[in-house]
Amino acid sequence: MNVTNALELHRAVAAEVLPEPSLHIAGSAVTSTDRGTLDRIDPTTGQLLASFPIAGEREVDQAVQAARKAWPAWRRMAADERRRILWNIARAIEAHEDELNKIVALETGVPLAVGGMAMAIDHFEYYAGWVDKFEGVLISTYPGSALDYVKYEPYGVVDVFVPFNGPIPNAAMKLAPAFAAGNCVVLKSPELSPFGVMRLAEICREAGLPDGVLSVLSGDKETGQAIIRHPDVAKVAFTGGGAVARSVMAVASESLTPVVLELGGKSANLIFEDADLDAAAQMAAMMSAVMLSGQGCLFPTRLMVQESVYDEVIERVAAVTTSATIGDPLDPNALMGPVISEDAADRILSMVDAARKEARVVTDGERIDTDLGGNCFVRPTVLADVDNTSSIAQQEVFGPVLAMMPFKDETQALGMANSTEHGLAAYVHTNNLKRAHRAADGLVAGWIGVNSFPPMAATAPFGGVKASGFGREGGRAGIEEYVYQKTSTSRFPRSEQGSRGVVMETSGRAPRLGLRAVPGRSTC
């Protein structure tokens, strides 16, 4: 396909599926603001995809106030009605799956063959079932009769940030549990992929989500900070890089707004000599340097192989990466598209150039001229004999780059794997069951895969430790991020007191308000 044909195809698909660039506030589309617009360049063709409005403080306040207005009715809605709405959203995403995949392919370069909507559907289905499953806790009390119980309460208005590399699945991971718990959400869309979540907002409304429960604001750093600083925002959920996360925490700390952070990783992947080398090498190569063009926070980008099979695994990994079909993400046969932007390609290639001085180049990453017009295609890079303390081994590249290094034994492998500031995911390949369990226990990370790259099912908690963030998405832990516990205690008179009133517990001080004191007890 030449440049002219690629441009024609992308323009035709954009005209078919791209939503009108707008902010979504209380069910209304806002197409212009005082702050102007931002441009989104199609990473495949290098041409303007569309311009979209930047939300300012006025639009932020409108969205938050709409959420505050919608919240009382939403949190009190009958559980079966709210459950039905979440289920309907899952069905609506399923019905629009092809359309959403095309939008994401245009704005991010993720191939149609990769998709990702199944994860979004899974999360809305799963958390639809949680709407009526939160059970309170009855607390045993002493020294007298009392009813002491705990309820789970929604925060109110939640601010959600999603990353560019999987905007719709990542949005679903946050929206579904937040809605199920009874919260309203103001979502800040990614600057590099705003259109998928714009369409998601429309789909949610069409599926019956009441106006104000979800608003989607596009914009820049200033927009995001304005949302966090709004006094009616009760919690922030952020997925992205560590540098931006520190900024988010700094702004949230001004008002002590709680945050949940899912951040980057530099995940280790351990292959022992007794592993299925074909399967292990296939997973290692595809899920680090091919899938999503390496732009995944939990990808196994540090490959550590036992010395006895090290050279053999290098050959297998190289064969996989060099055979990957790279091309137009709208081509159903393409497994790998461009990286998100030209700036990202420059940064990735700069890191590869620096690593060449110290590591052995197995497959040489370089910019690819695909005849599609864009300048964002980067060939997969495999580097061997990497020093585990080097920048390429310690810093998240977020691109199609795999760093390989040998290890002697299990003890050294675990030590190398854990010697990073990150702790999002880790992987181990072995047919020794005892070793598998020992390694999973010894790896310091929140997400462990044994002989596989496990699917991010909605049923399982996902999140990191150390510089990879805190808090969890998925499972019961995921919905608990969007509620707080409220304890209510009601004390009753003892039978011998008659109807005089409750017992006041003091430290032997004289009773006040005519209530009998119980020596040795204090109320505060």
What does the alpha-carbon distance between residue 288 and residue 427 come to, in Å, rounded to a whole number?
12
Annotated active-site residue 273? The verdict is no
Strands 469-470 and 447-450: unpaired
What does the alpha-carbon distance between residue 199 and residue 360 come to, in Å, rounded to a whole number?
45
Q: Which two tokens stand for residue 376?
A: 């964002």
Sign of the C-alpha dihedral computed for residues 70, 76, 80 and 86 taken in this order: positive
Give Cβ neighbours of residue 476 (< 8 Å, ≥ 6 apart): 130, 461
3-state percent breakdown (helix, strand, coil) of the chain, nearest 5: 40, 20, 40
Q: Could you give the C-alpha distances from 508 to 167, 497, 520, in angstroms and in order? A: 61, 18, 6
Tokens 């997969």 sit on residue: 380
Measuring CA to CA, which residue among 234, 93, 120 is closest to residue 174? Answer: 120
Strands 469-470 and 259-262: antiparallel
Q: Of these residues, 184, 204, 297, 376, which one is catalytic?
A: 297
Q: Of these residues, 125, 262, 410, 481, which one is catalytic?
A: 262
Annotated active-site residue 524? The verdict is no
CB 363 within 8 A of CB 378: no
Q: Which two tokens stand for residue 288?
A: 């680090």
Tokens 């596989």 sit on residue: 452
Measuring CA to CA, which residue among 35, 359, 394 is closest to residue 226? Answer: 35
CB 210 within 8 A of CB 279: no
Q: Helices 117-128 and 97-108 meet at what angle, rounded to 10?
A: 130
As annotated, the active-site residues are 262, 297
